Amino acid sequence: MRNIRLLLRYDGTRYSGWQSQEHEENTIQGRVTAVLERLTGETIRLAGSGRTDAGVHALGQTANFRTESALSCEELKMGLNRYLPEDIAVYSVEEAELRFHSRLNALRKTYRYRIWNSPVHNVFERKYLYSLEQELDEKAMEQAAARLLGTHDFRAFSSYRRTKKSTVRTLEQIRIERRGEELRLEFTGNGFLYHMVRILAGTLIEVGLHKKSPEEMDRILVSLDREQAGFTAPAQGLCLVSVEYADGES
C-alpha cells in the first residue's frame, strides 16, 4: 500500500467547492478522484487539507490518497494533468508516509483575500477579486486585525448554525498589503471554520468603510453571535495560498 501526496492549484469559478457531494458531481475533489480512478483502476478516497467553498480558488491545496497501483509519481502527475480540465492542475506528486493525512497533519493554513479598490474595473482579473469602489481606511483595518489575533472562540465569524465541534481557533497573523489599486488581506492560522475567512474579510472591510470600529472586534468575539460580525465577502476574492506541515513542506 502506498500513500500519495498531491499539491494542486485550481480556479474555483465554475465548481461547487472542493468537497464531493451527493447529487453534485462538479467539485474539485470529484474531478480529481475520477481521473485517479481512471488511471489506477481502483476506488480512490481522496482527502484534502480543507474544504474550499464554491467559487474559491487555490494556489496550494494539499491532498492525499492510498493506492496499490505501481504507477510512478511522475506517471500519476502526467496522467492527472492530461485528463483534468484546464482550470485544475497538479504541480507535485510525491510518496508520503502511510500515516500522513493532508487535513489531520496540517499545522497552519494561509488564505488570501483580494480587493480591487478602484472605480475602474479590473477587466482581466475580475474573477479573482472583490471589486469595491469606496476608499478604505487601512489603518483602522490594521487596528481591528490586531484585536482578532490569538486564540479565540470564532463562532461569531462562522456560518455554522449548530455544531458540537469546537469553534476555537488560533489566528496567528493578518497581513494587510496595498499593491496599487489592489488591497490584499492574508490570514494565517491553525484552522478555519466554515466561511470564517470570508466573514473576517467582510468585517475588516466594514471597519475600513467606518461601518464598524476596531474596538468592536472584542465585543463581536465575546458575543459568539454571527449577526454581530460583518458580511460574508464574495467567494471569488478568496484563495487558499498554502498549507504547512511538520516536515516543512506546504
Residue 82 sits in a domain of what CATH number?
3.30.70.580
Q: What CATH number has the domain bearing residue 204?
A: 3.30.70.660
Q: State yes or no: is 87 an active-site residue.
A: no
pTM: 0.94
Give the cell for residue 10. 485550481
Residue 148 has phi, psi (to 5 degrees) of -90, -15
Catalytic residue among 11, 53, 87, 218: 53
100 in Cβ contact with 3 (< 8 Å): yes
Same domain? For 86 and 115 the reply is no
Same domain? For 205 and 225 the reply is yes
74 in Cβ contact with 110 (< 8 Å): no
Same domain? For 78 and 116 the reply is no
Chain mean pLDDT for the chain = 95
Q: Is 87 part of a structural domain of the chain?
A: yes
Mean pLDDT of the region 10-21: 91
Tens of pLDDT, residues 176-192: 999 999 999 999 999 99
Same domain? For 90 and 119 the reply is no
Give the domain-ending residue among 96, 117, 145: 96
The confidence band for 23, taking pLDDT boundaries of 50, 70 and 90, is: low
Number of independent structural domains in the chain: 2
In the block, cell 490570514 appears at 187
Tens of pLDDT, residues 108-159: 999 999 999 999 999 999 999 999 999 999 999 999 999 999 999 999 999 9
Give the domain-ending residue among 96, 121, 146: 96
The parent domain of residue 17 ranges over 2-96
